[in-house]
Amino acid sequence: MLYGCFTTQTVTTDVYLIKFCFQNWPDSQCVQILHNQVPALRKGALLMVCDALVPPPGGMSLVDERTVKCVVVPIFLPHPRS
Ligand SMILES: C[S@@+](CC[C@H](N)C(=O)[O-])C[C@H]1O[C@@H](n2cnc3c(N)ncnc32)[C@H](O)[C@@H]1O
């Protein structure tokens, strides 16, 4: 089923998965996407997010940090979050 994440969620189910989507949007629009799910959430429903996180600066080795900055962020993580 097609769903535009900037519209209110109308499908009612037990589990929702948002996978590798938040990396494409700034924080304000990620918040809007999450808000749009709320009307459909039943008691006990799970809203799962699968996305990539990077440690804050200094949180990994210099080699890994350079790899993330030069390769991972430009290709896969337009909006990396820690
Ligand atoms: C990085 S891909 C992730 C795809 C999939 N979730 C996965 O894990 O392989 C981001 C997806 O968001 C979809 N997308 C972009 N704008 C959207 C919108 N407004 N509503 C719903 N999906 C959207 C794109 O079509 C794309 O498939």
Please check whether residue 16 is in contact with residue 37, taking contact to mean a CB–CB distance below 8 angstroms. Answer: yes
Q: What percent of the chain has pLDDT over 90?
A: 55
Q: Residues enclosing ligand 1, CB less than 6 A?
A: 3-6, 19-21, 24
The number of beta carbons lying within 10 Å of the beta carbon of residue 20 is 12
Which position has the higher pLDDT, 50 or 74?
50
- Distance (Å, rounded) from C-alpha 32 to C-alpha 47? 14
Domain boundaries, the chain: 1-51, 52-82
E strand or H helix at 19, and its extent? Answer: strand 15-19
- Ligand 1, atom 4, residue with closest C-alpha: 20
Q: Tokens 């949007």 identify what position?
A: 25
d(CA 48, CA 17): 5
What tens digit of pLDDT does each residue of 55-66 get?
887 888 988 888
pLDDT category of residue 53 using cuts at 50, 70 and 90:
confident
Q: Distance between CA 50 and CA 52 in Å, rounded?
A: 7
Each residue of 16-49: pLDDT tens digit? 999 999 988 999 999 999 999 999 999 999 999 9
* In the predicted structure, residue 78 carries a pLDDT above the cut 90: no
Which of 8, 19, 21 gets mutated to test ligand 1 (max ligand atoms within 8 A of its CB)? Answer: 21
Q: What is the structure's pLDDT at 57?
A: 79
